[in-house]
Each structure stands twice: as structure tokens, then as C-alpha cells.
Structure 1
Amino acid sequence: MKKIVLILGVLTIAAGFTSAPTSAQEPVAASPAVAWSSAALRHPTDWYGSAEARRLAAIVIQHQSAEGGWPKNTDLFVPPRPDADPALNNTIDNGGTTQPLAFLARTIAAGDAESRAAFDRGLDYLLAAQQPNGGWAQFYPLRGGYHDQITYNDDAMVHVMELLRDVGDGAAPYAFVDEGRRERARQAVARGVETLLKTQVRRDGVLTGWCAQHDAQTLAPAWARRFEPPSLSGQESVGIVRFLMSLPAPRPDVVAAVDGAVAWLESAALHDTTEVFVTDAQGRRDRILAPKPGARIWARFYDLEDGRPIYIGRDSIIRRDLMQIEHERRNGYRYVGEWPETLLIRDYPAWKATLHDRA
């Protein structure tokens, strides 16, 4: 019945738009992409040993803070501006710190000894940034407010743990890391895994997913920005599940966490529904939910109590209909997506098969 109500509501709303929907896979207007973020880790292996790669590595290092971190949303292939705020150069958000470390690791593995000291400082920064709760906050040193919460948002903590996992394993391109740091990385990952397990939300005693942020003290789901409420996340839960699935010889509690989250994601899908772009009555590009037989999508936020999708704009009022969110937020934030699809139809079944083979 809930699914029918959703689709009927979409049909009623969509009737007020003047043009046919287009694919929701089109690029969404957002912050302009920088050359750094799109190109840094995508070159052939041999390129990282080139003079050009070393020149760019030297510029990347110029952006490193005194504490050892790097900023987000910055073209690190361009020298930093003299008026850049150094307080913003210490984040794991949007690839901050983890991406530059991964880039420098590639040049070091290709023979760039001059970048080694900066890499070690950055790795030490990540290890120092792990909080007593086992998680990582968005910024370190801590800045207060929601920035200090355990940050799963946009896979920030997962990216840290992926890098530390590879460092601890001595995987390429991190084979050059000394054993002392590799051991610290392994210990940090182990503590992080415990935090992932502790923060998984149970509803009526059943394991479900995770919130995008969890309270640094209580580990409970927590607010972030005004339009990011305590909730179950249809996006961030996917990255956490994928990380847990990457662990070798997973313990029974890790397997249970993955199984519980996957079952919840299956149950949370919005069936026969898709996201499309349209032109509204004012001539603006807009996104709506529309019926599509056989399709399914997921909400970014689900109510912690009843498990239903919720939508919330800058007024921080929780709503049940995406079209009640202001146009600016509806088109500037991803409230729905297909994030779990490949996990559910391909990767999770393959992972379960490997567990069966090991048994």
C-alpha cells in the first residue's frame, strides 16, 4: 500500500510539468569538478615515475598543512593561494587527505623519494586523527559541532579505512611503508571495524544500516547539516557494507552485520519508481520521482522508527514527499539514488559464495 501511495502522488505532481522526463543519469549541477580530483589516480602506472608526476607531487605537498592533512574541493595541481585558510587543510571529507596520500604513494612507488617525508606525515596525521571512539571526524584537529561526529557521510571514514587497510597489508602502491606504521595502520583498522559494528542500528532487535553521522560519545545516529537528520542511510550504508566485505576471513559478527544491512537495503527499496529530470512551469530544470515498472531506487534517509523514506530541506522539517522540499535542495542534493543496486544483485551474492567455498 505504501508503494501505491507513493506512485500516485508522483503522477499527480508530475502532471504539472511541461516537458517529458529525461534520464536521471545525466550529470547533476554541483560544485565544479577540478582536474585534481578527476585525474590524480587514473594515470597508467608508468606515468607516476615521470618528471611531470614529480612536478605535480611537489605542488600537492605545498597544500599539506602543518598537522599533515590536506583540504577538500581544491585543485592540488595548482599552487595554493596565499590567502588560503590553513584551518581547512585538515579534513577527510570529499577525498581530502586520502586522495593526496594515494597520489603521493604512487609517485613514491615509482621512485619519487622526495615525497616520502610528506607521505609519512600525512599517514601519521590519519593515525592521530582516529578518535577514542574508534572513528574519524570530518576535521582534525576537531572544530566543534557536527564536524566532530563519527563521519560516514560520503564514505569519508570508509576511505580512510580503505587506505589504512592497504597500508597494513603492504598492498601496492604502499609496499614502501615501514613496518611500524603498517602495524599502527592494522591496529587502527581493527578499532575502526569495532566502531562500524557498534554503530550499526538495530530496529526491534534486527540489524539494519548506518546513519551518515554518529555521535562521538553515545555512538547513536546524529544530526549533521540542517538537511541531514539522524536516520538510516541508503547511501552510506553501502560503502560500509562493501568495506566489511573486503575483510579477509570475516568473523561471524562481521558476516551478520553485512547480512543484516543487505536484508535491510532489500526491504528499503522503492519499487517501480525512478528519478527523472523535467522542466517545470517556470522553465527550471527539476528532478522528480516517477513510476517505472521494474525499476527501484533508494532514499538517502529513512526514518529510524518506521523505516519509511524521509526528505528534509534547509528548514529541517521532515517530510514524506520529495516534492515538498524546496527546489534548491531538491536539485542540489541527492535524496534518492541507485547506490545499493550493484551490491545487491552482484557483489553480495559473490561474497556469500566465497564464504560458502571457505566453509
Structure 2
Amino acid sequence: MKMICMAVMLFITLLSAGAQKNIPASDIKTAMMKATRFMVEKVSNRGGYLWNYSPDFSRCWGELEAKPSMIWIEAGTPAMGNVFLNAYQLTGESYYLKAAQAAADALIWGQHPSGGWPYMLDFSGEISLKQWYSKVQKGYIHCAQEHAHYYGNCTYDDAATYDSGMFLLRMYLLTLDPKYKYPVERCLDFVLESQYPIGGWPQRYPLRYEYVKGDKEDYTSFITINDGVHTNNINFLLACYTLLGETRALEPLQRAMTCVLALQGGKPQAGWAMQHKLDLNYSPGHARDFEPAGYAATATAEMCRNLMRFYRWTGDTKYLARIPDAFEFLESIRYSDAQMKQLGKSVKPGQILCPTFVEVGTNRPLYLHNDPDHYWVDYDYHGLITHYSSTRAIDLQSLKDEYQHLLSLSKEEATKDSPFIGQTDISGTLLSHLMRGKVQQADTQKVDSLLTILKKKDYLPGRLPSVSKENPGFSDAPLPSEVISIKEYMNGMSTFIQYLTK
């Protein structure tokens, strides 16, 4: 009898646990709409968004503190637009589509005459934006160097132009409204015009050479790999060619792929830099004060991954030929276990730890330091800056596994899903891949926690990132302990959407 009672209790427990996993879809959709209405009707500025807002809206921030008249492009308005579209395509609620259209309209308003986008827009105009830059120059010391000078042009950095162009492309493919196709075509014009003959792109365009610091020239004209610039532009050209039938994108795409081969260093430094100069050897170039000229582990790993993609697209073994040289380079600069212990670092299985930068010609690690007045680089690993890491973990084993897998395939097998020579239509899969956002784990506990928050609040709260906490003098008021966060909104919506999809 005792055993029967225990079995019944266990059954009831399991039944209750199973019931907890069935959160009504109606509850989730209600919470999604509540949070979205708040963002659209209380937070949005003409369809656009910054990153964070104080709960009383007395202050607001993008990457740095901003004016209420501003919206942020980088990790801001296009990202919000994509979340709205995800919600619309899941639920069919027209409110989400209208919110996405408003975000698209804000981006169209702010598209630069050349066809790209800057980091942020100011609806009060250029004079207001210049005043903001002047305030930043006086108030911020570290972490804001990309915002320390008003260029008046566009940036590929942090996917500002890529995210905008891809979101508008998605809007066009969903609605077939030509008002969204025109800015995509202008963006394509921008990408084609700004491409160097070798196939790479500058960080900013139209080109400027005016922000010279000491003996360092303006780095924004250098061929840029950092922050996904080269990879993103390849993806955009591929999307335009495959999804819009823009054949003019094909030859520039091929040049961009070949450029990756041309920029690889010779042994024993068969890697890539974050920036490459436009000199005879396309040698590594500096960027911000804490980004010295040197070969970079992350850029090398990214380009290895790209070369394997290019092989899958073309079946041309030239893209595989020098990947082993790059692996050898990464192995040569990896830290030993003893060195990692000295640095207080560890890595996951399959990863190696490498310096972020190694010196050209020697492979010596370069370490980054600062004081209140300036940055410097040397070989001493003590007293490093904290806002930018001097070391990086690299998933070398996964790169090697993928490389060996490709070698085991026939050319036909490797290229079966190629957008150029494959036998199947992969346009839908391609768009989904290129538009993918950060996937949030959709476990019941997380969903339940979000629902609890939204029963008490109209928004999902967050905290200011460290760089935003530097006060450039916009206000003397204390910084809020909690902010209205578009990042938390987007993460929460992603969790809800994934849960409902499953």
C-alpha cells in the first residue's frame, strides 16, 4: 500500500511539473503586446529607438548618453524592427507590422545621401548632432573614440549600415512595397561604390582623412575586418544577388572573397589583422588608441570560417589551401596553461587563449594600458585596461573539425547548398540565416519570470552598460539604478517567440 501511495504521489508530482510547462499562449501574447505598446507609444521617437531610458524619461542613452531628439542605428532601431517583424510573422497581429514600418520609416529618413547610415540620427538636424559630438569630446575619455569626431559620413562599424540595409530588404520582401526597395538599392550602390579595387571596404565612407592623432593617420580609410565589416558586406551582396536578383553584386562579391586570400599574412604570421593599410603589402594597421597595428586572433578565426564558406559556395580549393597556415599561426601564439594561470584566464574545451594582438614580425603579445590621459601598448601583461580585453578565446578545434569535414566531402557534396551552383532553392533559408538574431533560451522558468515582471511593469528593466555610466555633463542628476532597456525588451520578446514557436 505504501508503494502504491508513493507511486501516486510521484505521478501527481510529474503531472504538476508537466502542467507548469504549459503556459497559455494567450498569456504570453498578452504580455508581448503590453510590452510592445509601451515601447512603441511611450519610448519610440518617430519609430526609432535609443538603447536605454531612465524610468521618468529625464535622461536617455545610446552607447553614450544621448539627446531625446536622437535615435541609435547600431544595435538599436533596425534590431527593434526585426523583433517586431518576428512577432508579426508569428502572431499575424498588424500592430507589430505597423511598428516595424515606423522603424523602417525612421531609417529611410536618416539614410545618408551616399546610401549608408551613421551610428545614430538626430531628428533635430545636423547642428544638434554636432553639438552632441562636442559634448562627447569634452566629457568622455575612454571607450568613445569612434564618437569623438564628427565625420558627417557613414559607417560599416558595428553593422550600422548592414543592419539597416538588411532590415529594409526584409521589409521589402515581406510587403513588396517599393518604398522599401529603393533605399535597399541605394544601400547596394553605397556598398559597391565604397569597395576598394582589391575587394575590401573602409570602416567609413565617403572617405575622410581628417582625424589625425599625433603620428597616427586617420584609420577609417583602412581595409576593415573588425566588427564584421568584411563579412557583413559579403552577406549583404549575397542577399541582394540571391534574393533580389541583383547581378551587379556578383563580381564585387567575388572580389571580396578573393580579397580575404590577398590579405592573409605570410608564414609564420599567416593570419589577418583587424585593419589592413592600403600600402604595398596591405600590412596590419592601427585603429583606436587601444587597438595597435598587429595580427589578430579573432580576425584570423573569422576569416578561416569565411574561407570555408567560400569553398562551400564555389567548390574552389584555393579557399582551403592556406587555412592550415592560419591554424599553425594560431597555435604558435596560443598561451600555455602556465601563462593562462599567470593571466588568471581559462577557456572551454576545444578553445585556445591567444593575445588579442601580436606584434608584426615577432608574434610577441601586445598588452593594452591607460591612465586618465592616454593609452599605451607594451609587452607587460600587468595593469591592463578593463573595457577592452588583451586576450581572446578562439574555438580552434571547431575550425579544425569543419576543415577536416570539408576535406572528407566530394565537391558535389560540399556545394549542394551553394547559392551559386547548388541544386536547391535556398533563398528562404538564406534570408532566415542572415536575419537571425540572438536566440534566447525559451525555458518555462524564464518565460514565467518575464510574465511576472510584466504583470507589475509595462517594460522589462535593465541596467546601464559601463560606458554609458561615464557622465559627459548632460545632467548632474544621479544615474538611475534601473532603466527602460530595449535590449531586455528584445531578449524577452525573443524568449516569448521561441517558446510559442516550440
Report whether the alignment pairs 1:36 with 2:74: no
The residue aligned with 1:234 is 297
For the residues of structure 1 that align with 2:329 and 2:84, how far apart are their CA atoms? 38
When structure 1 is superposed on structure 2, of 94-103 and 345-354 the one drifting more is 345-354
How many aligned positions are there? Answer: 297
Deviation string 1:69-101 (CA, Å, 9 cap, x unpaired) is 1012x3x7xx63422358444111111211101
Report whether the alignment pairs 1:120 with 2:185: yes
Pairing of 1:1-359 with structure 2 (within 5 A): 31=63, 35-36=76-77, 39-42=80-83, 45=86, 47=88, 50-72=97-119, 74=120, 80-82=123-125, 83-84=128-129, 87-113=151-177, 114-144=179-209, 145-168=218-241, 170=242, 175=243, 177=244, 179=245, 182-203=246-267, 206=268, 208-218=270-280, 219-247=282-310, 248-272=313-337, 289-290=343-344, 292=346, 296-313=352-369, 317-325=376-384, 330-338=385-393, 340-341=394-395, 344-358=396-410
Name stretches of at least 5 consecutive residues in structure 2 with no aligned partner. 1-61, 65-73, 131-149, 210-217, 412-502
For the residues of structure 2 that align with 1:137 and 1:46, how far apart are their CA atoms? 35
Name stretches of at least 5 consecutive residues in structure 1 with no aligned partner. 1-29, 277-287
1:354 CA displacement: 2.8
Q: TM-score, structure 1 length as denominator?
A: 0.73
1:350 CA displacement: 2.6
Any idea what SS the aligned residue of 1:297 has? strand
Residues 78, 164 of structure 2: 8 Å contact kept: no
Compared CA separation, residues 291 and 316, structure 1 to 2 (3 A)? closer
Residues 133, 217 of structure 1: 8 Å contact kept: no
Any idea what SS the aligned residue of 2:337 has? strand
Compared CA separation, residues 40 and 302, structure 1 to 2 (3 A)? farther
For the residues of structure 2 that align with 1:186 and 1:313, how far apart are their CA atoms? 43
Compared CA separation, residues 47 and 80, structure 1 to 2 (3 A)? farther
1:299 CA displacement: 1.5
Residues 41, 102 of structure 1: 8 Å contact kept: no
Compared CA separation, residues 102 and 256, structure 1 to 2 (3 A)? same
Q: TM-score, structure 2 length as denominator?
A: 0.54
For the residues of structure 1 that align with 2:277 and 2:380, how far apart are their CA atoms? 27
Deviation string 1:149-205 (CA, Å, 9 cap, x unpaired) is 11112221221112212322x1xxxx2x2x4xx2221211211222221111113xx
Residues 54, 112 of structure 1: 8 Å contact kept: no
Residues 151, 208 of structure 2: 8 Å contact kept: no
Compared CA separation, residues 249 and 207, structure 1 to 2 (3 A)? farther
1:129 CA displacement: 0.6
For the residues of structure 2 that align with 1:126 and 1:291, how far apart are their CA atoms? 39
RMSD over aligned Cα, in angstroms? 3.0
Identity rate, percent: 23
Give the letter aligned to residue 117 of structure 1. Answer: Y
For the residues of structure 1 that align with 2:391 and 2:153, how far apart are their CA atoms? 30
Residues 273, 292 of structure 1: 8 Å contact kept: no
When structure 1 is superposed on structure 2, of 100-109 and 264-273 the one drifting more is 264-273
For the residues of structure 2 that align with 1:103 and 1:67, how far apart are their CA atoms? 18
Compared CA separation, residues 348 and 92, structure 1 to 2 (3 A)? same
Residues 289, 376 of structure 2: 8 Å contact kept: no
Give the letter aligned to residue 300 of structure 1. Answer: T
Which of the pair is proportionally richer in helix? 2
Residues 234, 301 of structure 1: 8 Å contact kept: yes
For the residues of structure 1 that align with 2:345 and 2:293, how far apart are their CA atoms? 28
Give the letter aligned to residue 93 of structure 1. Answer: D
For the residues of structure 2 that align with 1:291 and 1:316, how far apart are their CA atoms? 23
